[in-house]
Chains A and B, each alone.
Chain A
Amino acid sequence: MKRFITFLSAAIVAAGLGTAAQSPVPDIVFDSNPSPLMLPDDIYLGEVGGVAANSKGDIYVYTRTGHPTISIGSSRAFAHGGSRLFQFDRSGKFVREIGKDSYGMLVAQQVRIDAQDNVWIVDQMAGYVNKLDAAGRPVLLLGRKAESINVPANAGRGGGGEGGGGRGRGGLPGAGAQSDVFNRPTDVAWDSAGNIFVADGMGNARVAKFDSKGVFLKSWGSRGSEPGMFANVTGIAVDAQGNVYAADAGNKRIQVFDNNGTFKSAITNVGAPGALCMTPGPNQVLYVSNSNPPEDFDNGGEIYKIKLDGTVVGRFGKVGKRPKEFGAVNSLDCRTENSLLVGELANMRVQKLTLR
Chain B
Amino acid sequence: MKRLLACLPAVLLALSPAQPAAQQKATVQNVPEIPYTSVPNFLKMPPGETLGEAIGVATNSKGHVFVYHRSANTRLWEFDKNGAFVKEIGKGYYGFEFAHSVRVDPQDNIWTVDEGTNTVTKFSPEGKFLMVLGHRPSAVDGAVATVFGPNPPAQKYIFCRPTDVGWDRQGNIFVSDGYCNNRVVKYDKDGQFLAQSGSEKAGSEPGQYSLPHGLQVDGRGHVWVADRTNNRYQELDNDLKPLKQYSNLGTGWTVCVSAGPHQYVFASNSNPNGNGPGTWANTGEIYKMELDGTVVGKFGHASKEFGGFQVVHMMDCRNPNEIVVGEIESWRVQKLLLQQPAKTGSSR
Interface residues of chain A, those whose CB is within 8 Å of chain B, are 39, 41-47, 64-68, 82, 106-107, 124-125, 149-155, 157-160, 184, 202, 294-298, 320-322, 346-349
CB-nearest residue of chain B to A45: B129
Task: Kindly list chain B residues whose C-beta atoms are within 8 Å of the C-beta of A43.
Answer: 92
A-B contact pairs, 13 of them (CB 8 A): A44-B92, A47-B136, A66-B92, A66-B93, A66-B94, A67-B97, A106-B139, A124-B140, A125-B139, A202-B140, A295-B135, A295-B155, A320-B191
Cα(A160)–Cα(B155), bound, Å: 28
Q: With A39-B128, A348-B132 known to touch, is A107 a contact of B139 (CB < 8 Å)?
A: yes
Stretch at the interface among B45-53, B141-149, B204-212, B222-230: B141-149
Contact A295 B143, beta carbon cutoff 8 Å: no
Cα(A71)–Cα(B155), bound, Å: 32
The 8 Å CB contact of A320, one of B155, B158, B192, is B192
**A interface footprint on B295-338 (CB within 8 Å = 1, 0 otherwise):** 00000000000000000000000000000000000000000000
The 8 Å CB contact of B135, one of A45, A202, A294, A298, is A294
Is residue B27 contacting chain A, with contact meaning CB distance below 8 A?
Answer: no
CB-nearest residue of chain B to A84: B92
Closest 3 CB pairs of A and B: A153-B142, A46-B94, A44-B93
Contact A184 B94, beta carbon cutoff 8 Å: no
Task: Kindly list chain B residues whose C-beta atoms are within 8 Å of the C-beta of A64.
Answer: 94, 138-139
Task: Kindly list chain B residues whose C-beta atoms are within 8 Å of the C-beta of A44.
Answer: 90-94, 129
Contact B145 A152, beta carbon cutoff 8 Å: yes
Is residue B190 contacting chain A, with contact meaning CB distance below 8 A?
Answer: yes
Is residue B246 contacting chain A, with contact meaning CB distance below 8 A?
Answer: no
Contact B142 A321, beta carbon cutoff 8 Å: no
Given known contacts A41-B127, A67-B97, A347-B131, what 11 new A-B pairs fall within 8 Å (CB)? A44-B91, A46-B93, A67-B139, A82-B139, A106-B140, A125-B139, A125-B140, A159-B139, A159-B141, A160-B140, A321-B190
Contact A297 B157, beta carbon cutoff 8 Å: yes
**Most A CB atoms within 10 A — which of B90, B95, B132, B155?**
B132
CB-nearest residue of chain B to A159: B142
Number of inter-chain CB pairs below 8 Å: 97
**A interface footprint on B176-201 (CB within 8 Å = 1, 0 otherwise):** 00000000000000111100000000
Contact A295 B157, beta carbon cutoff 8 Å: yes
Min C-beta distance of B121 to chain A, whole Å: 9
Is residue B156 contacting chain A, with contact meaning CB distance below 8 A?
Answer: yes
Cα(A129)–Cα(B87), bound, Å: 37
Q: Say which size band chain B's interface belongs to.
A: 20 to 34
Min C-beta distance of B152 to chain A, whole Å: 12
CB-nearest residue of chain A to B131: A321
The 8 Å CB contact of B190, one of A295, A298, A322, is A322
The 8 Å CB contact of B156, one of A41, A150, A298, is A298
Contact B193 A298, beta carbon cutoff 8 Å: yes
Contact A42 B91, beta carbon cutoff 8 Å: yes
Contact A152 B142, beta carbon cutoff 8 Å: yes
Q: With A294-B157, A297-B193, A348-B132 known to touch, is A68 a contact of B145 (CB < 8 Å)?
A: no
CB-nearest residue of chain A to B137: A67
Min C-beta distance of B83 to chain A, whole Å: 21
Cα(A160)–Cα(B140), bound, Å: 7
Min C-beta distance of B329 to chain A, whole Å: 25
Min C-beta distance of B252 to chain A, whole Å: 29
Cα(A326)–Cα(B74), bound, Å: 28
Interface residues of chain B, those whose CB is within 8 Å of chain A, are 87-88, 90-95, 97, 127-129, 131-132, 135-136, 138-143, 145, 155-158, 190-193
Task: Kindly list chain A residues whose C-beta atoms are within 8 Å of the C-beta of B135.
Answer: 294-295, 346
Cα(A149)–Cα(B193), bound, Å: 37
Cα(A113)–Cα(B22), bound, Å: 57
Min C-beta distance of A209 to chain B, whole Å: 24
Task: Kindly list chain A residues whose C-beta atoms are within 8 Å of the C-beta of B155.
Answer: 295
Min C-beta distance of B282 to chain A, whole Å: 39
Cα(A39)–Cα(B129), bound, Å: 10
CB-nearest residue of chain A to B139: A67
Cα(A137)–Cα(B248), bound, Å: 66
Task: Kindly list chain B residues whose C-beta atoms are within 8 Å of the C-beta of A347.
Answer: 131-132
Task: Kindly list chain B residues whose C-beta atoms are within 8 Å of the C-beta of A42.
Answer: 88, 91-92
Task: Kindly list chain B residues whose C-beta atoms are within 8 Å of the C-beta of A46.
Answer: 93-95
Contact B92 A158, beta carbon cutoff 8 Å: no
Contact A157 B142, beta carbon cutoff 8 Å: yes
Cα(A66)–Cα(B88), bound, Å: 17
Cα(A67)–Cα(B137), bound, Å: 10
Cα(A82)–Cα(B135), bound, Å: 16
Task: Kindly list chain B residues whose C-beta atoms are within 8 Å of the C-beta of A349.
Answer: 129
Cα(A184)–Cα(B138), bound, Å: 12
Contact B140 A107, beta carbon cutoff 8 Å: yes
Task: Kindly list chain A residues whose C-beta atoms are within 8 Å of the C-beta of B193.
Answer: 297-298
CB-nearest residue of chain A to B127: A41
CB-nearest residue of chain A to B145: A152
Cα(A150)–Cα(B88), bound, Å: 34
Task: Kindly list chain B residues whose C-beta atoms are within 8 Å of the C-beta of A67.
Answer: 94, 97, 136, 139
Task: Kindly list chain A residues whose C-beta atoms are within 8 Å of the C-beta of B88.
Answer: 42
Min C-beta distance of A326 to chain B, whole Å: 13
Task: Kindly list chain A residues whose C-beta atoms are within 8 Å of the C-beta of B131.
Answer: 321, 347
**Most B CB atoms within 10 A — which of A296, A321, A346?**
A321
Cα(A283)–Cα(B283), bound, Å: 74
Contact B139 A47, beta carbon cutoff 8 Å: no
Min C-beta distance of A63 to chain B, whole Å: 8
Task: Kindly list chain A residues whose C-beta atoms are within 8 Å of the C-beta of B91.
Answer: 42, 44
**Most A CB atoms within 10 A — which of B97, B128, B139, B157?**
B139
The 8 Å CB contact of B143, one of A151, A297, A348, is A151
Contact A107 B138, beta carbon cutoff 8 Å: yes
Q: With A39-B128, A45-B129 known to touch, is A155 a contact of B142 (CB < 8 Å)?
A: yes
Cα(A152)–Cα(B140), bound, Å: 12
The 8 Å CB contact of A153, one of B87, B143, B156, B158, is B143
Cα(A320)–Cα(B94), bound, Å: 20
Min C-beta distance of B116 to chain A, whole Å: 9
Task: Kindly list chain A residues whose C-beta atoms are within 8 Å of the C-beta of B190.
Answer: 320-322
Cα(A68)–Cα(B158), bound, Å: 21
